[in-house]
A and B are shown apart, each in its own frame.
Chain A
Amino acid sequence: MRITQGTFSFLPDLTDEQIGRQLDYALSRGWALSVESTDDAHPRNVFWDMWGMPAFDRTDAATILGEVQACRRAHPDRYVKVNAFDAESGWETVRLSFIVQRPKDEPGFALERQEGPGRTQRYTVRAYACDRPAGRRYPGDAP
Chain B
Amino acid sequence: MRDVAVVGFAQRQMKDFDGSPSMAELLVPILAECYEQTGWTKKDVGFWCSGSSDYLAGRSFSFVSAIDAIGVLPPVNESHVEMDAAWALYEAWVKIQTGEVDTALVFGFGKASAGVLRRTLTLQLDPYTMTPLWPDTVSLAALQARLGLDAGLWDEAALAEVVNRSLTDAEKNEYAVRAGGSSVDELLARPMFADPLRKHDCAPVTDGAAAIVLAAGDRAREARERPAWITGLAHSSDGLHLGTRDLTISGSAERAAAAVGGTAGVQVAELHAPFSHQELVLRSALGLGDDVRISPSGGALAANPMFSAGAIRIGEAAKRIWDGSAEKVLGHATSGPALQQNLVCVMEAQQNGRAK
Do A and B actually bind?
A: no
Interface residues of B (CB under 8 A from A): none
Which residues of chain A have a CB within 8 Å of any CB of chain B?
none
